[in-house]
């Protein structure tokens, strides 16, 4: 099922409005996506007091980078999810004192348009279409990870698979999915 | 000539990076393959993982009312501060981009704190009076700003209270900026809180002013700042500063 927000032009228009610094746009962004950002952040960041700080950082970054959102590349929720994950993983990296563990280029969003093999617009519809083509055992791992929010060790414990197997299947599944979506891209998005 | 085996290995490591589960050893290998083979990270994978997270996840947790209030309070703080200024004088707007890059003297990493709007109601004391009142409090610290090479004419200070999480910066001789070209940004260095300095938000210095007072009211808690650093950034500020232009630093002794 495609979330209502992805089919609602007024929702998809929120980030461009934030970029134009329209009054009330940021408040509407928080109202619409606050739950999404909070949910993603809680998957990585505990306790809640720390998670609240990361949510604030995420919305501050959205304020600064709203102009990078390209509706032709992804839905607003995907873009916001990208920023929320990035801030959360960055928090984890700092907390674990592993300085170079998760480097994402600061200009990551600028590089999205530079791919030689670009993907079609990433939204629920295109993702579900590609998911159907994945082998069942990989799709099940995806569901445990993305739907259930389980970490890789938790998936290994739940399924009885070796941790290395879980990691390898998820990684290769992601690459397969990327290839499937690139193949399905009728018109490469110009950057 | 691209080695297909190495290319496949890099892709797998890059997928791990997008998942956020690279081990330190794998990260070293991922870095080495970039350097030696010229492979580049595929940022589309990050977008794909984000799309899967938002599309498949049960992401219906509700933020607390308290958090929503904090976020809404933050929105009014995104706008650049208009400093309270006095004694108009002839002043030239300094083109910051002509200044050479300057070193970063203070600590390690970054997080986010934003200024509160300086809009005042008619009944509210002036920033000058508020600063003076804060100075009279026992636990308030006062640190002098030192301008860096190209800002050597700058004088000023910061007054700050850890308990109140508030403070003021005062500047004399900080060049006016053209907000469409560059803005000042404050970074609060607090190693006890985080290895990254807290982003204190952006502010402007209008042309034709002698003294400017800029309020600081951090929305994220700062435990014990050891330094306040002013950088010059692109309009709107940055999330992570490259510290190319540092205007001034105030440090605890």
Instruction: Categorize the per-residue pLDDT at A5 as very low, low, confident or very high, splitting at 50, 70 and 90.
Output: low
pLDDT given at position B166: 83
- Contact (CB<8Å) B63/A170: no
Percent of chain B topping pLDDT 90? 23
pLDDT given at position B244: 81
Q: How many CB atoms sit inside 10 A of residue A24's CB?
A: 11
Instruction: Categorize the per-residue pLDDT at B243 as very low, low, confident or very high, splitting at 50, 70 and 90.
Output: confident
Is B63 contained in some domain? Answer: no
Give whichever of A38-42, B92-96, B99-103, B136-140 has the largest mean pLDDT: A38-42
Strands (DSSP E) along chain B, which ranges? 81-82, 84-86, 111-112, 141-144, 146-147, 155-161, 166-172, 183-189, 198-204, 211-217, 227-233, 246-251
- Tokens matching residue A190: 């110009």
Cα–Cα distances in angstroms (integers) from residue A13 to residues A17, A28, A178, in the given order: 6, 11, 26
Closest chain B C-alpha to A121 CA, distance in angstroms: 10
Q: Of B114, B216, B107, whose CA–CA distance to B165 is shortest?
A: B216
Instruction: Categorize the per-residue pLDDT at B75 as very low, low, confident or very high, splitting at 50, 70 and 90.
Output: confident
Instruction: Categorize the per-residue pLDDT at A95 as very low, low, confident or very high, splitting at 50, 70 and 90.
Output: confident
Closest chain A C-alpha to B112 CA, distance in angstroms: 6
Bridge-partner residues for B199, per DSSP? Answer: B112, B187
Do the domains spanning A1-114 and A115-186 agree at the CATH topology level? no
pLDDT of B92 > 70? The answer is no
Q: What are phi and psi of B78, to 5 degrees?
A: -70, -30
Strands B84-86 and B81-82: unpaired
Average pLDDT over residues B110-125: 38
Closest chain B C-alpha to A49 CA, distance in angstroms: 9
Closest CB from A26, A74, A85 relative to B53 = A85
Length of chain A, in residues:
191
Closest CB from A57, A74, A118 relative to B111 = A57
Average pLDDT over residues B120-131: 70
pLDDT given at position B82: 45
Higher pLDDT, A92 or A190: A92
Strands (DSSP E) along chain A, which ranges? none
Average pLDDT over residues B149-178: 88
CB B165 within 8 A of CB B209: no
pLDDT given at position A131: 93
Contact list, B48 vs chain A (CB under 8 Å) = 119, 122, 127, 174, 177-178, 181
pLDDT of A161 > 60? The answer is yes
Average pLDDT over residues B144-164: 88
How far does chain A reach from its first CA to its final CA, in angstroms?
Answer: 29
CB pairs under 8 A between A and B: 198
Q: How many CB atoms sit inside 10 A of residue A115's CB?
A: 18
Mean of pLDDT over chain B: 77
- Contact (CB<8Å) B75/A89: no
Find the angle CA(B229)-CA(B160)-CA(B187) to the nearest 5 degrees.
20
Higher pLDDT, B110 or A23: A23
Average pLDDT over residues A5-32: 86
Higher pLDDT, A139 or B81: A139
pLDDT given at position B81: 47
Considering only alpha carbons, which residue of chain A is nearest residue B57? A147
Closest chain B C-alpha to A21 CA, distance in angstroms: 9
Distance CA A152, CA A162 (A): 10
Same domain, B9 and B96: no
Give whichever of A55-69, A149-163, B81-95 has the largest mean pLDDT: A149-163
Instruction: Categorize the per-residue pLDDT at B109 as very low, low, confident or very high, splitting at 50, 70 and 90.
Output: very low
Average pLDDT over residues A83-95: 86
Q: How many CB atoms sit inside 10 A of residue B101's CB?
A: 10
Is B35 contained in some domain? Answer: yes
- Contact (CB<8Å) B47/A56: no
Contact list, B42 vs chain A (CB under 8 Å) = 115, 178
Mean of pLDDT over chain A: 83
Domain that holds residue B32: 4-56
- Contact (CB<8Å) A53/B75: no
pLDDT given at position B20: 86
Give the distance, in angstroms, between the CA of residue B42 and the centroid of all CA atoms in the same chain.
28
Q: What is the domain partition of chain A in residue ranges?
A: 1-114, 115-186
Q: What are phi and psi of A98, to 5 degrees?
A: -115, 85
- Contact (CB<8Å) A124/B19: no
Bridge-partner residues for B212, per DSSP? Answer: B85, B171
Bridge-partner residues for B185, per DSSP? Answer: B202, B231
Considering only alpha carbons, which residue of chain B is nearest residue A57? B112
* Backbone Cα Rg of chain B: 22
Contact list, B114 vs chain A (CB under 8 Å) = 60
Closest CB from A73, A102, A146 relative to B53 = A146
Distance CA A77, CA A80 (A): 5
Tell me the CATH number for domain A115-186.
Answer: 1.10.10.10
Instruction: State pLDDT tens for residues B186-238.
Output: 888 888 877 778 878 788 888 877 789 988 866 577 888 889 999 998 877 77
Contact list, A1 vs chain B (CB under 8 Å) = none
Same domain, B22 and B134: no
CB B146 within 8 A of CB B171: no
Strand, helix or coil for residue A15: helix
Domain count, chain B: 2
Give the distance, in angstroms, between the CA of residue B216 and the centroid of all CA atoms in the same chain.
12
**Chain A interface mutation, best of B51, B75, B223, B243, highest count of A Cβ atoms under 10 Å:** B51
Strands B111-112 and B198-204: parallel
Percent of chain B topping pLDDT 70? 79
Same domain, B185 and B116: yes
Tell me, what CATH number does B185's domain have? 2.60.40
Fold of A1-114: Rna Polymerase Sigma Factor; Chain: A (1.10.1740)
pLDDT given at position B50: 93
Q: Of A23, A66, A41, A57, whose CA–CA distance to A149 is shortest?
A: A41
Instruction: State pLDDT tens for residues B203-216.
Output: 888 887 778 998 88
- Contact (CB<8Å) A94/B62: no
Instruction: State pLDDT tens for residues A24-65.
Output: 899 999 999 999 999 999 998 989 988 998 998 899 889 888
- Contact (CB<8Å) A35/B45: no
Strand, helix or coil for residue B63: coil
Closest CB from B45, B63, B70 relative to A178 = B45
Same domain, B217 and B157: yes
Distance CA B139, CA B137 (A): 6
């Amino acid at each position: 099922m495609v979330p209502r927000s992805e089919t609602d032009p007024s929702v998809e228009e929120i980030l461009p409005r934030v970029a134009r610094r329209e009054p009330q746009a940021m408040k509407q962004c928080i109202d619409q996506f606050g739950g999404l950002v909070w949910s993603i952040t809680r998957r990585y960041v505990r306790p809640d007091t720390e998670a609240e700080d990361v949510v604030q950082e995420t919305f501050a970054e959205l304020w600064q980078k709203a102009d990078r959102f390209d509706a032709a590349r992804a839905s607003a929720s995907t873009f916001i999810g990208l920023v929320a994950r990035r801030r959360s993983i960055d928090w984890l990296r700092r907390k674990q004192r592993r300085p170079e563990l998760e480097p994402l280029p600061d200009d990551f969003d600028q590089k999205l348009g530079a791919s030689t093999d670009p993907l079609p617009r990433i939204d629920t519809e295109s993702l579900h279409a590609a998911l159907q083509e994945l082998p069942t055992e990989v799709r099940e791992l995806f569901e445990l990870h993305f739907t259930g929010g389980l970490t890789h060790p938790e998936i290994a414990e739940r399924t009885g698979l070796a941790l290395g197997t879980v990691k390898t299947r998820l990684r290769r599944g992601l690459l397969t999915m990327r290839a499937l979506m690139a193949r399905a891209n009728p018109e490469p998005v110009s950057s | 000539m691209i080695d297909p085996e190495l290319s496949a290995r890099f892709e797998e490591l890059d997928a791990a990076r997008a998942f956020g589960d690279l081990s330190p050893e794998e990260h070293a290998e991922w870095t080495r393959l970039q350097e030696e083979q010229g492979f580049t990270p595929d940022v589309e994978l990050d977008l794909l993982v984000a799309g899967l997270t938002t599309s498949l996840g049960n992401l219906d947790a509700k933020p607390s009312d308290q958090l929503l209030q904090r976020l809404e309070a933050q929105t009014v703080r995104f706008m650049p501060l208009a400093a309270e200024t006095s004694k108009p004088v002839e002043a030239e707007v300094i083109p910051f981009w002509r200044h050479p890059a300057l070193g970063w003297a203070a600590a390690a990493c970054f997080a986010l704190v934003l200024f509160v709007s300086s809009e005042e109601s008619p009944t509210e004391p002036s920033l000058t009076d508020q600063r003076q009142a804060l100075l009279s409090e026992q636990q308030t610290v006062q640190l002098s700003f030192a301008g860096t090479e190209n800002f050597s004419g700058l004088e000023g200070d910061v007054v700050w209270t850890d308990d109140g999480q508030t403070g003021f910066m005062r500047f004399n001789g900080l060049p006016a900026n053209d907000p469409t070209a560059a803005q000042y940004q404050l970074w609060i260095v607090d190693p006890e809180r985080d290895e990254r300095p807290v982003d204190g938000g952006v502010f402007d210095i209008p042309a034709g002013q002698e003294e400017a007072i800029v309020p600081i009211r951090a929305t994220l808690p700062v435990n014990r700042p050891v330094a306040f650093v002013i950088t010059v950034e692109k309009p709107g500020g940055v999330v992570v500063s490259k510290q190319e232009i540092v205007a001034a630093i105030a440090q605890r002794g």
